[in-house]
Amino acid sequence: MEHQQLHQLWTQRRGRATTSTLLGLVLLFSSAMIVLVSSQTQDGALNSSDPILVNLTLVKNAKETGALCLDGTPPGYHFLKGFDSGTDNWLIHIEGGAWCSDVQSCNERKDTALGSSKLMEHQVPFTGILSNLPSDNPDFFNWNKVKVRYCDGASFSGDVKGAKKNGTTLYYRGERIWKAVMEELLHKGLATAKKALLTGCSAGGLATYIHCDDFKALLPNVETVKCMADGGFFLDVKDISGKRYIHDFFSDVVHLQDVGKRFPNCISKMDATKCFFPEEIIKSINTPVFILNSAYDSWQIRNVLAPPSSDPSNLWTNCTSNINKCNSNQMKVLEGFRATLLDNISDVKQKKDWGTFIASCFVHCQSIYQITWHTPYYQRINNKTIAESVGDWYFDRREVKVVDCSYPCNPTCVSDGS
Ligand SMILES: *[C@@H]1O[C@H](CO)[C@@H](O)[C@H](O)[C@H]1NC(C)=O
Ligand SMILES: *[C@@H]1O[C@H](CO)[C@@H](O)[C@H](O)[C@H]1NC(C)=O
Ligand SMILES: *[C@@H]1O[C@H](CO)[C@@H](O)[C@H](O)[C@H]1NC(C)=O
Ligand SMILES: *[C@@H]1O[C@H](CO)[C@@H](O)[C@H](O)[C@H]1NC(C)=O
Ligand SMILES: *[C@@H]1O[C@H](CO)[C@@H](O)[C@H](O)[C@H]1NC(C)=O
């Protein structure tokens, strides 16, 4: 779809509840979206200007510490300095981008920006929780902000020596990348921060759960350290054909990159693969966590619940492309998925410092896109945007343990289906 068409679609619907159909398109074309959102400035619909572009920094001691992307290049991050009252506060966002599960898929991945810093964009736009504009990001706009690039293929949690396979060497060093990046940021001012927030989306949301307590441990003198995981609560559910598709996939990732050894307590009690799922990880996290996730996470519905390989007759294709097109049996399966998610986070109610925002919109990754993070049009629960809810939780302005009613009850995300 052309940017212009998207723009038209957006303009037509401006003033009405933004639809999940539109959002789905927008998330597919996230680069288009930036154009879209910023182009609203002309007619004053959104109080945004072009997002700031932030340069890539490569980690300096990558060779010495063995902190390497899949292809052996140094890892990188984008750093935007804080200002005014945000000078001493730090927000670290971990990039997502699924996983590779075998030599072949990691080998293919190493020829992309998710496996090599040679191929990473030198500048990326900072939007949503990374925006530097108070209108777009009311609580964190002036903080020091870092987007850590994902290039290890296993949510920053593997650590094995590069193995020569099929003529190419692959490095599985996510754990070292995490440490090397944090080491560099500590020297740039993170060590003397007053407030800090670790966040990330999708595979980066999983990395946020995995590294939350590590982050806290690195910052003994920081007064407030919290973590917010976005779209990272992957569920170990059976798919529509009865297969444990995501379990088998995660099992391959875990064994390829020897991820189990970073969960020493967990693997003494159960299989290493299970230890890689947030439902187990959160049991041992001591740092306050905010769980931001849709109960109908579009990525999980497409890739965990109804992966194409389990739907050879394409009976689910309409439903996975647009939740409005799910039939009643499919909606029952989706409701079951939602119920499993809610069961798994039910203990959070008792954790005083934790928070939740379990939306019912058909989305994935809500903190990094302006439209889902904080706009007048999209997705509120109790009339609060996600940005306001996360801010209220971080700054202890109120307790935020929000679970939206089930689809399609929330008009701020219901699609009109057209
Ligand atoms: C970012 O990189 C560009 C060149 O790619 C350079 O001109 C610019 O000065 C850099 N900005 C900062 C803040 O370092
Ligand atoms: C190994 O290399 C051969 C030839 O280059 C290729 O056909 C095959 O798919 C590769 N196997 C893996 C596991 O990468
Ligand atoms: C948590 O989710 C898993 C699937 O990921 C499910 O098998 C299990 O029953 C759930 N646990 C609770 C306590 O709800
Ligand atoms: C999917 O939608 C198309 C167009 O609306 C329809 O023709 C088709 O029958 C649907 N497929 C299924 C499996 O329901
Ligand atoms: C919802 O919040 C907005 C500002 O964020 C406010 O203008 C509006 O009046 C609120 N609506 C309700 C029904 O409280």
DSSP 165: E
Q: Which residue has the tokens 């590590």?
A: 214
CB 293 within 8 A of CB 287: no
Instruction: Read off the amino acid at residue 139.
Output: D
pLDDT tens by residue, 339-361: 999 999 999 999 999 999 999 99
Catalytic position from the list 71, 297, 360, 374: 297
Q: What is the mean pLDDT of residues 42-67?
A: 80
Q: What is the mean pLDDT of residues 364-392?
A: 92
- The verdict on the CB of residue 121 being under 6 Å from ligand 1 is no
Q: Can you give the pLDDT at residue 164?
A: 59
Quick one: which of 8, 7, 19 has its CA closest to 377? 19
The pLDDT-based confidence of 10 (bands split at 50, 70, 90) is very low
The ligand minimizing its distance to the Cα of 375 is 5
- The verdict on the CB of residue 55 being under 6 Å from ligand 1 is yes
**Distance from the CA of 18 to the center of ligand 5, in angstroms?**
16
Identify the residues whose C-beta falls under 6 Å from ligand 4. 315, 318
The pLDDT-based confidence of 167 (bands split at 50, 70, 90) is confident
pLDDT tens by residue, 238-290: 999 999 999 999 999 999 999 999 999 999 999 999 999 999 999 999 999 99
The residue whose CA is least distant from atom 4 of ligand 3 is 236
- The verdict on the CB of residue 186 being under 6 Å from ligand 2 is no
- Residues composing the chain: 418
DSSP 384: B
- The verdict on the CB of residue 103 being under 6 Å from ligand 2 is yes
DSSP 157: -
**Distance from the CA of 234 to the center of ligand 2, in angstroms?**
31
- The verdict on the CB of residue 379 being under 6 Å from ligand 2 is no
Q: Can you give the pLDDT at residue 161?
A: 76
110-124, 181-195, 197-211, 367-381: range with lowest mean pLDDT: 367-381
- The verdict on the CB of residue 165 being under 6 Å from ligand 1 is no
- Indicate whether 11 pLDDT > 80: no
CA distances (Å), origin 218, targets 185, 191, 211, 337: 11, 8, 11, 36
**Distance from the CA of 55 to the center of ligand 1, in angstroms?**
6
Catalytic position from the list 20, 155, 157, 202: 202
**Distance from the CA of 319 to the center of ligand 2, in angstroms?**
36
The residue whose CA is least distant from atom 12 of ligand 2 is 104
CB 171 within 8 A of CB 72: yes
Q: What is the 3-state secondary structure (H, E, C) of 68-95?
A: CCCCCCCCEEEEECCCHHHCCEEEEEEC
The residue whose CA is least distant from atom 14 of ligand 2 is 104
The pLDDT-based confidence of 412 (bands split at 50, 70, 90) is confident
CB 295 within 8 A of CB 360: yes
The pLDDT-based confidence of 70 (bands split at 50, 70, 90) is very high
pLDDT tens by residue, 303-335: 999 999 999 999 999 999 999 999 999 999 999
β-pair partners for 21: none
**Distance from the CA of 166 to the center of ligand 2, in angstroms?**
6
Give the neighbor-by-neighbor strand order of the sheet with 401-403.
Answer: 123-125, 53-58, 76-80, 144-148, 89-94, 195-201, 224-230, 289-294, 355-359, 401-403
- The verdict on the CB of residue 347 being under 6 Å from ligand 3 is no
Instruction: Read off the amino acid at residue 281.
Output: I
Catalytic position from the list 93, 211, 247, 364: 364
pTM: 0.89
The residue whose CA is least distant from atom 12 of ligand 4 is 315
Q: Which residue has the higher pLDDT, 126 or 377?
A: 126
Give the number of other Cβ atoms within 10 Å of residue 24's Cβ.
19
- Active-site residue, 202 included: yes
Q: Which of 318, 321, 328, 330 to mutate to test the pocket of ligand 4 (most atoms within 8 A of CB)?
A: 318
**Distance from the CA of 108 to the center of ligand 1, in angstroms?**
30
Contacting residues for 329 by C-beta, under 8 A, at least 6 apart: none
Quick one: which of 332, 329, 344, 321 has its CA closest to 403? 344
Residue ranges and CATH numbers for the domains of the chain are 3-403 (3.40.50.1820)
d(CA 63, CA 66) in angstroms, rounded, equals 5
**Distance from the CA of 344 to the center of ligand 3, in angstroms?**
6
- The verdict on the CB of residue 105 being under 6 Å from ligand 2 is no
